[in-house]
Amino acid sequence: MSEAGQVQLYDTTLRDGAQQGGISFSVEDKLKITRKLDELGIHFIEGGWPGSNPKDAEFFRKAKGLHLSRAAVVAFGSTRRPNSKASQDANLNALLEAGTKAATLVGKSWDRQVMLVLETALEENLAMISESIDTLKSKGLEVFFDAEHFFDGYKSNPEYAIETLKAADRAGASCIVLCDTNGGTLPQEVASMVSAAQREVSASLGIHAHDDGELAVANSLMAVAAGAVQVQGTINGYGERCGNANLCSIIPALELKMGILCLGGERLKKLTEVARFVSELANLRPFPRQPYVGTRAFAHKAGLHVSGMNKWEEAYQHIDPDAVGNRSGVLVSELSGVSNIVYKARERGLLVPPGDAARQILEQVKLLEGRGFQYEEAEASFEVLVHRAQPDHRPPFELVDFMVVIESRRRPAASGGEILAEAMVKVKVGDEVIHTASEGDGPVNALDMALRKALIWFYPDVAQVKLVDYKVRILEESAGTESQVRVLIESSDGEDQWRTVGSSTNIIEASWLALADSLEYWLLKKVKQ
């Protein structure tokens, strides 16, 4: 097993991760991610394949100007083409032109891949590996060899798979990386084959696992336990098909579970920040239940769990969330207990004495969730609910009534006609009743405009609040147009964002309830400030 401090982290988010459908990093994105990974403490950052496209070539030109404190940028490419000279190979020359101090070469280790995909002889493949590595080494580069399909190759023809590793070893590869390219190898197989490879070569070994069997993290850890000293993976597990080994799970497992300090210092606490930073640049919504770094990774819903957490923080958490820059959370739902209510209220700066007050709020939550409300994603609505339960609560406004009219003008909308939505709202503030009307792009927009038009007389700053997202979910599809619907609204004042919920068999009423909660939450927050 590797000793503490010996495992090298090799990130391939910018190359292998970018092969995931829907991801397309710009050059500037790749530079920003490189800087962020360097701050995290990653040892090697694979920037791309300079011989494959102009974008990667541009990245390597600009990466020369980066001042990285720890990481080395690595260029990626393949061994020379069959039956050609390494010195004249365009791909190898592109690697040299990239200007990096290290390069990774991928070559075949599965005999069937050599014969059926490369369509060349097994001996020629060995020559391709050794000559390509030798060419780059002769120019002063450190070379890593990715033994593609090694595990499948070992199952098919162990002698030949090992011969490919020996060819790389003789040519001077600094690290030979065993790749589970198809992602179907089991952890016990990985451990056995890494041990077998270690007995045959003197070079260090690494692991590059794909997640097609949802085992990439486990396989990577097993490889380290068997002697691998380099782990390749991506942030958030991005990658082709089912993805790559997720470094956001591997790193804390190495450090916190196996005692291998691959980052060191306080860098591990940056992990959650880095995961969300990369997901933002990838333009992908973070997976909330992702281990260690997800927003729900340490979120507790069952009342029994929260009760235990209130007594002992480690009762239902396998690590301290702060170790990876994350935090605990509590969800409120019909499965909650009184402890959830007290914990959640305290978390949001609200005082709810345990006992009757908390039980009444809990019963209200259960009653409303039975009617289609859901507070897990609408914490602002929960906070309003807690305020309303206080004996001295005075709502900033109350609804008297509303009406929404939708009219089609001139000709049918399907033929290009105009749809008019108009909302009339009667709101009571203190002892005054305001009656306003407003038009909008649709019924919800018209209702929103009319409501704030009424409130702005008393609360001028309410104009800062904007509706930024609006989602509708049908809860009982079998009921057709009579179905219960849930409306989730996200609002912002330019600084903060919050979500509120409404539910009804009438989509307009559900929207009104969510809108009213949104504005009441913001007004109550302003009063507290």
* Exposed e or buried b per residue across 354-380, where buried means at least 16 C-beta atoms within 10 angstroms of its C-beta: eeebbeebbebbeebbeebbbbbebbb
Return the closest-CA partner of residue 522 out of 389, 393, 384. 384
Predicted confidence band of residue 204 (pLDDT cuts 50, 70, 90): very high
Per-residue pLDDT averaged across 309-337, rounded?
Answer: 74
Predicted confidence band of residue 155 (pLDDT cuts 50, 70, 90): very high
Per-residue pLDDT averaged across 335-340, rounded?
Answer: 65
Predicted confidence band of residue 374 (pLDDT cuts 50, 70, 90): confident
Residue 3 has pLDDT above 50, yes or no: no
Confidence (pLDDT) at 29:
95
355 conformational bin, left if phi > 0, alpha if psi -120 to 50, beta if neither: left
Residue 28 has pLDDT above 90, yes or no: yes
- Give the helix/strand (H/E) hosting 477: none
- Give the helix/strand (H/E) hosting 152: helix 150-156
Return the closest-CA partner of residue 42 out of 20, 9, 68, 79. 9
Mean pLDDT of the chain: 88
Per-residue pLDDT averaged across 401-428, rounded?
Answer: 75
Residue 480 has pLDDT above 90, yes or no: no
Lowest-confidence pick of 304-308, 315-319, 326-330: 304-308
Per-residue pLDDT averaged across 284-288, rounded?
Answer: 87
Confidence (pLDDT) at 401:
87
Print the SS3 string covering 194-212: HHHHHHHCCCEEEEEEECC
* Domain ranges (residues) in the chain: 8-281, 299-370, 397-458
Residue 517 has pLDDT above 60, yes or no: yes
Confidence (pLDDT) at 306:
60
Confidence (pLDDT) at 1:
35
Predicted confidence band of residue 295 (pLDDT cuts 50, 70, 90): confident
pLDDT tens digits, residue range 232-266? 999 999 999 999 999 999 999 999 999 998 997 78
Residue 391 has pLDDT above 60, yes or no: yes
Interatomic CA distance for residues 241 and 500, integer angstroms: 35
With a pLDDT cut of 90, the percent of the chain lying above it is: 56
Per-residue pLDDT averaged across 134-162, rounded?
Answer: 97
Return the closest-CA partner of residue 343 out of 308, 314, 315, 377. 308
Q: Which residues pair with 209 in a beta bridge?
A: 180
For the question of whether the overall pTM of this predicted structure is more than 0.85, the answer is no
8-281 matches 397-458 in fold: no
Residue 340 has pLDDT above 80, yes or no: no
Confidence (pLDDT) at 232:
98
Confidence (pLDDT) at 307:
67
Strands (E), 252-322: 299-300
pLDDT tens digits, residue range 165-187? 999 999 999 999 999 999 999 99
Predicted confidence band of residue 355 (pLDDT cuts 50, 70, 90): low
Residue 13 has pLDDT above 60, yes or no: yes
Confidence (pLDDT) at 373:
80
Interatomic CA distance for residues 176 and 430, integer angstroms: 75
- The winner for highest mean pLDDT among 40-49, 257-266, 395-404, 479-488 is 40-49
Class of domain 397-458 as given by CATH = alpha beta
Lowest-confidence pick of 63-72, 109-118, 408-417, 518-527: 408-417
Residue 296 has pLDDT above 90, yes or no: no
Predicted confidence band of residue 5 (pLDDT cuts 50, 70, 90): very low
What is the full DSSP assignment across 446-499? HHHHHHHHHHTTT-GGGGG-EEEEEEEEES-GGGGGG--EEEEEEEE-SS-EEE
Predicted confidence band of residue 2 (pLDDT cuts 50, 70, 90): very low
463 vs 337, which has greater pLDDT?
463
Classify domain 8-281 by CATH number.
3.20.20.70
Per-residue pLDDT averaged across 252-281, rounded?
Answer: 92
Q: Tokens 């459908």 — which residue?
A: 21
Residue 83 has pLDDT above 70, yes or no: yes
DSSP summary character for residue 116: I
Confidence (pLDDT) at 269:
94
Residue 426: other Cβ atoms inside 10 A:
16
Per-residue pLDDT averaged across 87-107, rounded?
Answer: 95
